[in-house]
Amino acid sequence: QVQLVESGGGLVRAGDSLRLSCAATGRAFSDLVAAWFRQSPGQEREFVAHITARGSPYYAGSVKGRFTISRDNAKNTMYLQMNSLKPEDTAVYYCAAGSFTGITPAGYDHWGQGTQVTVSS
């Protein structure tokens, strides 16, 4: 079993930056694919980015060029650096981990509790 805890959310202005962290405990996190999803009120959970165990990233088109996903396996931690934030990035951001890459929530077995990101215009 893997436990995931997100941190780093907050209230920022459009154009600002924010870095989210996801700390993992339990089963070897370094062996798993890790991902970020986000969910706004009334919307389905949306894929943001994933990173393989070896560190290869993949991004949703809406965040490519603005967000950077990374991981430090020695620290069992994953990050999401978010630059040039927009009001439409406002959501609860969740980290997830699983055995395979994918862009749907169903593909991930382990989830954090989420951290709120609010971007004001």
For residue 64, pLDDT over 90 is answered with: yes
What is the predicted pLDDT for the residue at 26? 80
Residue 34 zone, left/alpha/beta (φ > 0; ψ -120 to 50; rest): beta
29 phi/psi in degrees, rounded to 5: -60, -35
pLDDT at 28: 82
Give the tens place of pLDDT for each residue, 8-37.
999 999 999 999 999 999 878 999 999 999
Portion of the chain with pLDDT greater than 70, in percent: 100
Would you say 57 and 69 are in contact if contact means Cβ atoms under 8 Å apart? Answer: yes
**pLDDT mean over 41-70:** 97
pLDDT given for residue 91 in this prediction: 98
Average pLDDT over residues 35-48: 97
Q: What is the pLDDT of residue 1?
A: 84
Nearest to 118 by CA among 16, 1, 6, 3: 16
Going by DSSP bridges, is the β-strand pair 91-98/110-111 parallel, antiparallel, or unpaired? antiparallel
- 18/86 Cα distance (integer angstroms): 11
Residue type, 73: N
Which tens digit of pLDDT belongs to each residue from 83-109?
A: 999 999 999 999 999 999 999 999 999
